[in-house]
């Protein structure tokens, strides 16, 4: 069973503890250093907390705040203010203020600025400070305001301090930012001062140049003395240097002579080595050039064979294309003619059906004839192409014997061409010494054999075929002695020998 008496006895203690906890949790406050917390309500004199903590009893006490930090107040005249010398100026200044530390003036500040933000406090103080600055401007001249701004700001602070004390505010500083006048007199004063400064600067510059000239002359004199001493020492050193150079040059010439002799010996050795290497290089180059010429001959031979094959293929292709073009043309002509006849037959259909059949048969005959002609042309072209191909293959297989045969076949034509000029001669007058006219006639008559002999020699040099030896193969001596050397034509079988071999009466011995 519960002891109700014990519960009733402990109840006030519990309630007291709860109230204390509520007061602590709900009424505990802590003021920062730049704010003053004012707790009022139960006491006659409010409690002020600055940078410390305290307890505020809920529902019975009130908490108010007062800003204690530094506040910047912009003091700027909105219009031009006349100075003591009746010159209108506009002044821009900045003041630094804060709430006073002593208790009495802090109470004044509480009454005027409690729970106000710094900007609101600065706005409330701005009008008072501007009025004080206006009063000070009216007591000073323009020159005094510009030349002694510290005195001007001190006067403003002194004048404003009286009004600020009534509000519980301390003025920390007052700085004049800018002063402007209505008609630019400040700039004129500056020009006057600039002229004075330039004048003083010109005088100082002239005096400085004079001092510099004096010092420069003294320096030049000392420099001249030093230069004479230095040049004397330099001359002595140069003499010593020349003597030393001569000694070194002598030793150098000796070493150079020895080196030149050694160099000449080494140079001769190198020249012998270079000559040996050059000879070896020339031999190697000659061998490479010979190999290169052999390769060039092989390449030219291959190129010639390829050119012959290419030309034969091109000719065959051209013939085939021409035949195909001719066939196509004839087919189109036949078709065109057939179409015209059909159209004409349709136009004349009413005339006679038999005539239509006859014309159709005629068109068919023409087409068949065209096809036959085209086939004939195609076969002829193919035959010519095959002939060209066989001819190209034959050209590739030609040896010296075949070349000799071809040249022998054209010899009569060549001899005829050589003799044509003689045949065109109508009359010959021969002038010879001692009446030797036979010698002149024989000279002209022997011109053709001489030209033919030279032609044989040229053909032998260019083709390697000796036509003179080939021609001798058919002579009596060749047939009897059987000792004719057919140089350049080992594959030729002479006609007479072939005939004798065919008859079986004689055989040529090598």
Contacts 24+ apart (CB under 8 A), 364-369: 366/334, 366/337, 366/338, 367/331, 367/334, 367/335, 367/338
Q: Looking at the predicted structure, is the pLDDT value of residue 483 above 70?
A: no
Q: Which domains, from first to last, does the chain contain? A: 1-67 (no CATH), 69-183 (3.30.479.30)
**Cβ-based neighbours of 39, under 8 Å, separated by 6 or more:** 29, 46, 47, 49, 54, 56, 61, 62, 63
Average pLDDT over residues 3-17: 71
Taken in order 331, 336, 339, 344, the sign of the CA dihedral is negative
Higher local confidence (pLDDT), 48 or 466: 48
Percent of the chain with pLDDT over 90: 5
Mean pLDDT of 210-214: 86
Answer yes or no: is pLDDT of 498 > 60. Answer: no
Pairing of strands 53-55, 71-76: unpaired
**Is the pLDDT at 494 greater than 50, yes or no?**
no
Q: CA–CA separation, 101 vs 429, rounded Å?
A: 160
3-state helix, strand, coil in the chain (%, to 5): 70, 10, 20
pLDDT at 480 over 60: no
Q: By percentage, how much of the chain surpasses pLDDT 70?
A: 71
Give the least confident one: 136-140, 373-377, 404-408. Answer: 404-408
End-to-end Cα spacing for the chain = 164
157-176 pLDDT tens trace = 888 888 898 899 999 988 88
Per-residue pLDDT for 201 more than 70?
yes
pLDDT of res. 281: 84
In residues, how long is the chain? 510
> Which one-letter DSSP state was computed for residue 428?
-
pLDDT at site 482: 44
> For 226-253, how does the pLDDT look when each residue is reduced to its tens digit (9 = 90+)?
888 988 889 888 888 889 888 888 888 8
- The pLDDT tens digits of the residues spanning 411-431 come to 676 766 666 666 666 565 655
- Asked if residue 443 has pLDDT above 70, the reply is no
Residue 510: pLDDT above 50? no
Please, which residues bridge with residue 89 across strands? 81, 181
Angle made by CA atoms 324, 326, 331, in degrees to the nearest 5: 95
Average pLDDT, the chain: 76
Q: Which range is least confidently modeled, 107-121, 142-156, 167-181, 351-365? A: 351-365
Across the chain, which distance is largest between two alpha carbons, in Å?
196
Read off the pTM. 0.35
Please report the pLDDT score of residue 396 as a whole number.
Answer: 54
Measured CA distances, 448 to 58, 91, 170, 390 (Å): 157, 135, 148, 38
Outline where 72-139 has alpha helix (H): 103-113, 118-137
Q: Residue 109: how many CA atoms within 13 Å on its side-chain side?
A: 32
What pLDDT does residue 365 have?
76
């Amino acid at each position: 069973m519960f002891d109700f008496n014990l519960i009733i006895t402990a109840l006030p203690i519990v309630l007291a503890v709860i109230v204390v906890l509520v007061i602590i949790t709900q009424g505990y406050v802590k003021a920062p250093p730049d704010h003053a917390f004012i707790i009022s309500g139960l006491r006659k004199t409010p409690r002020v907390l600055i940078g410390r903590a305290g307890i505020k009893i809920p529902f019975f006490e009130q908490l108010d705040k007062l800003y204690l930090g530094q506040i910047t107040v912009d003091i700027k005249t909105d219009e031009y203010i006349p100075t003591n010398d009746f010159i209108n100026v506009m002044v821009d200044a900045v003041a630094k203020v804060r709430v006073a530390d002593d208790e009495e003036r802090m109470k004044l500040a509480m009454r005027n600025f409690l729970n106000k933000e710094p900007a609101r406090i600065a706005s409330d103080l701005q009008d008072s400070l501007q009025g004080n600055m206006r009063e000070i401007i009216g007591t000073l001249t323009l020159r005094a305001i510009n030349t002694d701004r510290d005195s001007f700001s001190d006067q403003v602070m002194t004048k404003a301090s009286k009004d600020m004390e009534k509000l519980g505010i301390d003025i920390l500083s007052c700085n004049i930012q800018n002063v402007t006048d209505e008609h630019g007199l400040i700039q004129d004063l500056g020009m006057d001062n600039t002229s004075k400064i330039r004048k003083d600067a010109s005088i100082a510059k002239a005096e400085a140049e004079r001092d510099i000239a004096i010092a420069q002359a003294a320096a030049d004199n000392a420099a001249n003395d030093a230069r004479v001493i230095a040049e004397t020492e330099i001359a002595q050193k140069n003499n010593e240097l020349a003597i030393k150079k001569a000694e070194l040059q002598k030793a150098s010439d000796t070493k150079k002579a020895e080196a030149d002799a050694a160099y000449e010996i080494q140079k001769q050795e190198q020249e012998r080595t270079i000559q040996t290497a050059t000879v070896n290089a020339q031999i190697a180059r000659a061998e490479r050039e010979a190999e290169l010429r052999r390769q060039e001959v092989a390449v030219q031979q291959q190129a010639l064979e390829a050119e012959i094959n290419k030309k034969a293929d091109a000719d065959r292709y051209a013939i085939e294309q021409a035949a195909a073009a001719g066939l196509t043309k004839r087919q189109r002509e036949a078709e065109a003619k057939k179409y015209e006849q059909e159209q004409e037959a349709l136009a004349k259909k009413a005339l006679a059906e038999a005539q239509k059949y006859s014309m159709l048969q005629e068109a068919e005959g023409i087409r068949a004839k065209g096809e036959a002609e085209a086939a004939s042309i195609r076969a002829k072209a193919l035959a010519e192409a095959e002939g060209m191909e066989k001819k190209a293959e034959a050209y590739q297989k030609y040896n010296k014997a075949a070349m000799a045969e071809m040249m022998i076949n054209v010899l009569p034509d060549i001899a005829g061409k050589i003799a044509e000029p003689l045949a065109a001669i109508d009359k010959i007058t021969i002038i010879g010494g001692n009446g030797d006219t036979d010698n002149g006639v024989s000279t002209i008559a022997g011109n053709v054999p001489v030209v033919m002999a030279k032609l044989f020699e040229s053909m032998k040099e260019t083709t390697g075929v000796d036509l003179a030896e080939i021609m001798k193969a058919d002579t009596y001596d060749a047939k009897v002695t059987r000792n004719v050397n057919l140089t350049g034509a080992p594959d030729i079988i002479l006609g007479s020998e072939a005939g004798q071999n065919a008859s079986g009466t004689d055989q040529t011995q090598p």
